[in-house]
Amino acid sequence: MNARASAQQYRQTAVQSAVLEASPHRLVALLLAGLRERLQLALACLEKGDLARKGQAIGEACRIIAELDGSLDHAAGGEVAAGLAALYDYAQRRLLDANLHNDPTPLQEVDGLIAEIESAWRAIEPAAA
């Protein structure tokens, strides 16, 4: 196994451990952080001209957004859940534009929106038990 494969395996194991031990709040935080990582990766790949990897990173970002959207509790969340659902739908459409047109602007826009959500989510983190 080469060093890159070993590092990837280590990272995957660390992520799996973090998920298994995480509270629901922490799981959402991990999804938001992972989403932002994929958006940054897509931007870097676009800049380098690695369009295949850019498309893969955008696809992964879209799957994370779908997971976040699917986790919304519309009954309990009311207007907040509806607003997040609309934002996730908008983000998906912008990522489609970025992928189709190899345009960094929608990637940057979505990253900025998700950064705001991530910041707000961290601000409401429950106190550790």
Asked, for residue 17, whether it belongs to a domain, the answer is no
Structure confidence by residue, pLDDT tens digits, 34-51:
999 999 999 999 999 999
Asked, for residue 6, whether it belongs to a domain, the answer is no
Distance CA 75, CA 126 (A): 21
pLDDT recorded at residue 38: 98
pTM for this predicted structure: 0.83
Per the structure, the count of domains in the chain is 1
pLDDT over 70, % of the chain: 84
For residues 38 and 12, the model is more confident at 38
Report the CATH number at residue 84.
1.20.120.340
Distance CA 76, CA 70 (A): 14
Structure confidence by residue, pLDDT tens digits, 77-114:
999 999 999 999 999 999 999 999 999 999 999 999 99
For residue 105, the enclosing domain spans 23-123
Asked, for residue 84, whether it belongs to a domain, the answer is yes
Asked, for residue 103, whether it belongs to a domain, the answer is yes
Asked, for residue 114, whether it belongs to a domain, the answer is yes
Asked, for residue 18, whether it belongs to a domain, the answer is no
Ramachandran quadrant class, 102 (left: phi over 0; alpha: psi -120 to 50; beta: rest): left
Distance CA 111, CA 126 (A): 24
For residues 125 and 119, the model is more confident at 119
